[in-house]
Chain A
Amino acid sequence: DTAVSQTPKYLVTQMGNDKSIKCEQNLGHDTMYWYKQDSKKFLKIMFSYNNKELIINETVPNRFSPKSPDKAHLNLHINSLELGDSAVYFCASSPAGSDTQYFGPGTRLTVL
């Protein structure tokens, strides 16, 4: 019974392509996040949604568009992929009233 799941686990694609990463949590949490971990292992927040509403949108190229169809899902769509987008993308969630975040297994994106 996976708490926060992401698909796919690995994604290899060519520059210029459009791709999506999906995230689902079965914890009943209200808030979901996307983080990017670069090649130096540095983690940085990209987006945060609370009850399907965008609450944090960091300085991220507008090629990245999050979509939250419902409270349990937060997908990340990336247009016109670039080499610099290669990273591990982590989804996370947290319950209402708590800042403790629970992370998914990550999606390793490689742009060739």
Chain B
Amino acid sequence: AQSVSQHNHHVILSEAASLELGCNYSYGGTVNLFWYVQYPGQHLQLLLKYFSGDPLVKGIKGFEAEFIKSKFSFNLRKPSVQWSDTAEYFCAVNYMGRRALTFGSGTRLQVQP
């Protein structure tokens, strides 16, 4: 079955620390990859996406992610987090031919001032 794994369920960082959130997906052929963010009490917002081309993609608010095909991974990174980055982060995969996203279980990021 197609599945997405996010290894870190809860991450606590201090401001200015670097962030890396892991995401792995099960093999299923060609995929499109996404990271969404959900701020407290708000809806899901797209951070960044990868369809093809340069495996290092840059998104909004200083986030970036790297697609490593051989590892079926799409990890999210930010060099220096801010208190306002406190949110739930979701990795999602679209397996070609299926018009729906398969989500990971989410990572709760807590940034302490």
Contacts and interface: CB of A to CB of B under 8 A. Distances in A.
Interface of A: 31, 33, 35, 40-45, 48, 50, 55-56, 58, 90, 92, 94, 99-106
Contacts of A31: 99
Decide if the interface of chain B is mainly helix, strand, loop or mixed: strand
Decide if the interface of chain A is mainly helix, strand, loop or mixed: strand
B46 A99 contact: no
Interface string B26-44: 0000001010101000111
Interface string B79-113: 00000000010101010001111110110100000
Contacts of B98: 56
A100 B59 CA distance: 14
Contacts of A102: 46
Given A35-B101, A41-B108, A45-B100, 13 more contacts: A31-B99, A41-B105, A43-B92, A43-B101, A43-B103, A48-B100, A58-B100, A90-B43, A100-B46, A101-B101, A103-B36, A105-B43, A106-B43
Interface of B: 32, 34, 36, 38, 42-46, 49, 51, 88, 90, 92, 94, 98-103, 105-106, 108
Contact of A48 (B32, B99, B106): B99
Contacts of A55: 99
A90 B44 contact: yes
A102 to B, nearest CB: 7
B90 A43 contact: yes
